Structure 1
Amino acid sequence: MTDLKAFFNTLTPVSAKSWSRFSALFTSKKLEKGEYFIKEGQIAKEIGFLERGIMRAFYRNNEAVEYNKHFFVNPCFIGGYASLITGRPNQIFQEALTSCTIQVAKFADIQNLFPTCPDIERGARVLAEQFFVQKEQREIEIVLLDADKRYQIFKDTFPQLEQQIPQYHIASYLGVTPTQLSRIRKKLSGK
């Protein structure tokens, strides 16, 4: 729980009383490589804090082609955020790419703290704002930047990830084929 506390305190300072109530809502869960935190079509009820491991969020089209939307590297929050807020079915999958340790809480229980724990509500708002900024930045990258620049941003955003996950996942995230990614890597390495 120390990682969760340290991470949450980067969002906003939290009183001891609020922290005690907030942290009591979380239980530890393990996901093995290939297991899902949430699938498409489920109604999200829980939010997770990724303590250890790597996960991906992805879409799957009607032809079963997958498109990676985001990578989660600890420490960070995970979950079907749009589904949590709207109550509608989740549209993405979140899959463990390595074995993962997660702290999980019911989102409704966290929301129930908001009236009496304004510091927790403030932290949730800051987190939502960060998600919004990340989403907008990612959309701009996909539309306005070429694949070479997107690859460089990926490397800056997720250092070490290239050595930990398959290249086809990175290619999908960048919106290129694995062959194109190989050419980009070769070109940028100067070989």
Structure 2
Amino acid sequence: MELKSYFECFDIFTSGEIDYAISLFSKRKLNKGDYFIQEGQKCSEVAFVQKGIFRSFYASQSGDEITYCFRFPNELIAAYSSFITGNPSVENLQALSPAELLIIQQKDIDLLVKENPKWVTFLRIIAEQNYLELETRVFQLQRDSAQERYQNMLKKQPQYIQQIPLQYLASYLGITQRHLSRIRKQLVFETNVL
């Protein structure tokens, strides 16, 4: 999917409004391991992921990296709390593969909102989607087993899961790498038996 198709999916904007918005984006490439934003920096831009996988993580008090979110192609990324408040980010967004992004600056988003109230509607929808995703994640952590959480990831993003290093997947699932390896072996066994 390209950015134009992404905006068209919301069925809010005219083709001309979308073209104008796209003209405000710029391209950026990141290498594997590069950061879109790091803890302590202020987030003043949003990116549309054309290519690549990202992980969002923070450091615990003991210094462990806790992965709490992955982002894939055709999704928006930003350190949203920093973007909204203007405070330094408490999270890191790191590319897990070579990535290509389309970037829009906060000042340009503010301009779109000022010129056209449809962008307020769009931003509300994005905020609602992020809230629902967060709520689902909390419910899954409290209700579902690690195997169920892993299977859910496989259903949603099967083409990308194999590209994510085990330690990040395990951290996201809230389990050890050893436990994740057992889950994967069990699923392979169950698939072969069927």
TM-score range, shorter chain: over 0.9
1:36 aligns with 2:30: no
- In structure 2, what is the Cα distance between the partners aligned to 1:27 and 1:152? 36
Cα-Cα RMSD: 1.5
Deviation at 1:189, TM superposition (A): 2.6
2:48 is matched with: 49
3-state SS of the aligned residue for 1:74? coil
Q: Which sections of structure 2, spanning at least 5 residues, go unmatched?
A: none
Identity of aligned residues (%): 35
Deviation at 1:87, TM superposition (A): 1.2
- In structure 1, what is the Cα distance between the partners aligned to 2:94 and 2:148? 26
8 Å CA contact retained: 2:40, 2:89: yes
1:27 is matched with: 26
Q: Which amino acid aligns with 1:47?
A: V
3-state SS of the aligned residue for 1:160? helix
1:160 is matched with: 159
1:65-84 → structure 2 map (5 Å cutoff): 65-84=64-83
Deviation at 1:35, TM superposition (A): 0.3
Q: Which amino acid aligns with 1:20?
A: D
1:11 aligns with 2:10: yes
Q: Which amino acid aligns with 1:78?
A: I
Q: Which amino acid aligns with 2:35?
A: Y
Q: Which amino acid aligns with 2:10?
A: L
1:143 is matched with: 142
8 Å CA contact retained: 1:43, 1:90: yes
Q: Which sections of structure 1, spanning at least 5 residues, go unmatched?
A: none
1:170 aligns with 2:169: yes
1:90-105 → structure 2 map (5 Å cutoff): 90-105=89-104
CA displacement 1:134-153 (0-9 Å, x = unmatched): 01100111112111111111
8 Å CA contact retained: 1:56, 1:96: yes
CA displacement 1:23-63 (0-9 Å, x = unmatched): 12110000000000001111110111101111111111233
Q: Which amino acid aligns with 1:100?
A: A
Give every structure 1 segment of 4 or more consecutive aligned residues whose post-TM-superposition deviation is greater than 6 Å.
none
- In structure 1, what is the Cα distance between the partners aligned to 2:137 and 2:59? 19
CA displacement 1:126-165 (0-9 Å, x = unmatched): 1111111101100111112111111111111221223212
- In structure 1, what is the Cα distance between the partners aligned to 2:112 and 2:187? 49
- In structure 2, what is the Cα distance between the partners aligned to 1:64 and 1:98? 24
Give me the TM-score of the superposition, normalised by structure 1: 0.93
1:125 aligns with 2:124: yes
1:179 is matched with: 178
- In structure 1, what is the Cα distance between the partners aligned to 2:84 and 2:180? 35
8 Å CA contact retained: 2:153, 2:161: no
3-state SS of the aligned residue for 1:11? coil
Give me the TM-score of the superposition, normalised by structure 2: 0.92
